[in-house]
Chain A
Amino acid sequence: MAANPATGISPLPTYPPVALREQNGTEAINDALTLCLQRDPTTLLIGEGVPDPKGIFGTTSGLRQRFGPQRVLDMPLAENALTGICIGAAISGLRPIMVHQRIDFALLAMDQLINNAAKWRYMFGGQAQVPLVVRCIVGRGWGQGPQHAQSLQSLFAHIPGLKVVMPVFPDDAKGMLCAAVVADDPVIFIEHRWIHPLRGNVPAGYFETPLGKARRRRKGTDITIAAFSHMTIETLNAAPALARLGIEAEVIDMRSVSPLDVPAVLRSVAKTGHLLVADTGHQSFGVAAELIARVTRQGFDYLRAAPASIALPDLPCPTAHAWAGHYYPTAASIAEQALRVCGIHIGEAQRRELGTLQATTPADIPNPEYRGPF
């Protein structure tokens, strides 16, 4: 490095700063889409409302202006055909990213997703591939109700050939979306609506976070709580109360449903001997049941007590806000279930501690600032 001719002193070497930015989920996803569209001209972004003034809750805002109407476009209200059209573009060498403002709309496209996207590579012996990302947003609260608040990961994960991921934190949302776009397979990218306002530190620039890998978000010794999507947040909120009751919970954000990172959970259960799985889907035939089954089959000797799960009741989501706190599991219900798995009697002290977990905001909104309408 050249010395300053006036002083004869060489400047100190400079290092790039730790490139972390505080962002919310919306910004992180918008960033990921921007970077993917920028680095690969074969990437397309399509969905109902993608270029509209609301821009899919802000996640696609500004992208049409930046990348043009050919690559960032709205679509007819025809989910099945448009999914097939994206599959056709994908087998022709493009990389479409499709967006559903609610995952419930993707049900209209199940023929194309299950019969074509999931099988095209396999049924033609690897002679073609479907690099397609389908972003599906799971609504919650504010009366989203029976057809705008389903959490359908187990439905998709049942199908061989589909990858299913559900990141929570903004850094994972960004890195996993980038990884999904470069993957040569269809990826169902499930975004809980409540991850959009969630803030966190996100590395700047392009990076990929591997799909199919869980991430430990809290170290613990007494119980493993494996959580999916928004349940990770509820679980992390429950953990300090559990700690005050003498239970150190190890919290694993599963991040992916298929592939399912069973080894990460087994490693943790080998240490804690207890397992609770918290899922955003329904209880029956769900992801929590699958994870418990696999851990039990492969790690029966590690378990000191029967595992348990926390999930939605086997009911469609009702609309009335008075029911939201009873329909959705909370930090308090997770903590209570964790105590039961650990064989701890729920006495006065426990009840008091669980009482501190009662939410201060209504259960049908993500934060006090939320004003609707969707």
Chain B
Amino acid sequence: MNATMDELDLFHQMLRIRRVEETLAERYAEQEMRCPMHLCIGQEATAVGVISALAEGDRVFSGHRAHGHYLATGGDLTAMIAELYGRASGCSQGRGGSMHLIDTDAGFMGSTAIVGGTVPVAVGAAWASQLRDEGRVVCLFFGDGCFEQGVLHESMNFAALHRLPILFVCENNHYAVYTPLEERQPTRPIHAIASAHGLHAQALDGNHLPAVRAAADKAVHGARIGDGPQFLELHTWRWREHCGPDVDDHLGYRTPEAQADWLARCPIEHAAAHLCSLGLLDEIGRQHIENAIQYEIEHAFDSALRAPLPRVQDMYGHLHGR
């Protein structure tokens, strides 16, 4: 795939995530998706930019705000929607909801609800890849809040010690629920701490798709050739409330200036403008993409809602194996 066609595809993927999240937000009020939901509107470039740098067979892990990562990895859309509606056909068979997504066929190995929970698990998957000489790279998404968890530092230590093929991606959206970074961490760059652990680390604008993709290409390559663990700190912004469908800036925890600044740095419109300037996208082209996405989303919701609820007798299944 040539670079410019690739960028158009990545734009499509980002727009698809945005529209899925917006549709979820709209339909959340119907009270049929009965689980906590952390939307990633505004953070689409981190997911798409990084994951598009991975190869077939690579693995992705994520945390509570995982819809974008799941979809960018190729996770089945209908199965995700069905999961949110608590259907038996959901990607976790109705046991996980929004915070526990999985699609192993696609390489999305799991997202969980405890901040830091999947961090060592991803490192363990990278360890397995190394022990078996599989050549897989593992990509792990977490937020700035997770950087305060001891388990992340324990995990970076082990990853560096064994030079594991893993890419740590810190999506720094500057807030843990309502608490700003300044109230949680001293003034020093997150990526510098990762460097001190022995990781190859850098920070960049996470809303700038080409930059994210370029940095991810380099990092994934480094991880794959045995250069040890990599770390990207991607600055971004969550547009909606921490958990739920709404915009909550009336609560005053973020300044209107910061909000306006980040809205102006929309990763999707930024990519669209770039594609237009290259002559690869125009109004009609964009409408075609919008239509295709809308059709896909409507179809996914229809299928998910037609799927049966889980059977009561299945509730006890899958607790133990052999």
Contact = CB atoms under 8 A, between A and B. Distances in A.
Interface size class of chain A, counting residues whose CB lies under 8 Å from the partner chain: 35 or more
A90 interface: yes
A221 interface: no
A190 interface: no
A211 B173 CA distance: 47
A6 interface: no
A82 to B, nearest CB: 7
B45 to A, nearest CB: 27
A172 to B, nearest CB: 20
B109 interface: yes
Contacts of A107: none
Nearest to A120: B110
A115 B124 contact: no
Contacts of A70: 131
A121 B318 contact: yes
B176 interface: no
B121 interface: yes
Contact of A78 (B121, B128, B157): B157
Given A78-B154, A89-B125, A94-B128, A124 B92 contact: yes
Contacts of B116: 111
A185 B131 contact: no
Contacts of A126: 93, 317-318, 321
A88 B320 contact: no
Interface string B138-152: 000000000000110
Q: From B122, B125, B151, B318, name the one whose CB has the most chain A CB atoms within 10 angstroms.
A: B151
A111 B117 contact: yes
Interface in A138-178: 160-161, 163
B34 to A, nearest CB: 16
Contacts of B135: none
A121 B319 contact: yes
A268 B131 CA distance: 49
Interface residues of B, number: 40
B100 A185 contact: no
B311 to A, nearest CB: 13
B120 A112 contact: yes
Interface in B273-312: none
Given A76-B157, A127-B104, A128-B110, A81 B119 contact: yes
A128 B318 contact: no
B124 A90 contact: yes
A258 B96 CA distance: 25
A321 B123 CA distance: 43
B125 A91 contact: yes
Interface string A228-239: 000000000000
A75 B102 CA distance: 29
Contact of B119 (A75, A84, A128, A131): A84
A61 B157 CA distance: 26
A84 B120 contact: yes
B124 A123 contact: no
Given A123-B96, A185-B321, A128 B124 contact: no
Nearest to B93: A125
Contacts of A112: 117, 120, 151
Q: From B94, B126, B319, name the one whose CB has the most chain A CB atoms within 10 angstroms.
A: B319
Contact of A93 (B110, B119, B122, B128): B128
28 contacts: A78-B151, A78-B158, A81-B150, A81-B158, A83-B120, A84-B119, A84-B120, A88-B122, A88-B124, A89-B124, A89-B131, A90-B124, A91-B124, A92-B124, A120-B110, A123-B95, A123-B112, A124-B95, A124-B110, A125-B90, A125-B93, A125-B94, A126-B318, A127-B102, A128-B109, A128-B110, A185-B320, A185-B321
Complex A-B, nearest 9 residue pairs according to Cβ-Cβ distance, in ascending order: A88-B124, A84-B120, A125-B93, A81-B154, A184-B321, A78-B154, A92-B128, A126-B318, A85-B124
Interface of B: 90, 92-96, 100, 102, 104, 109-110, 112, 114, 116-117, 119-129, 131, 150-151, 154-155, 157-158, 161, 317-322
Given A88-B127, A123-B112, 15 more contacts: A80-B150, A80-B151, A81-B158, A84-B119, A84-B155, A85-B123, A85-B155, A87-B124, A91-B125, A94-B128, A112-B120, A115-B117, A120-B110, A121-B318, A128-B102
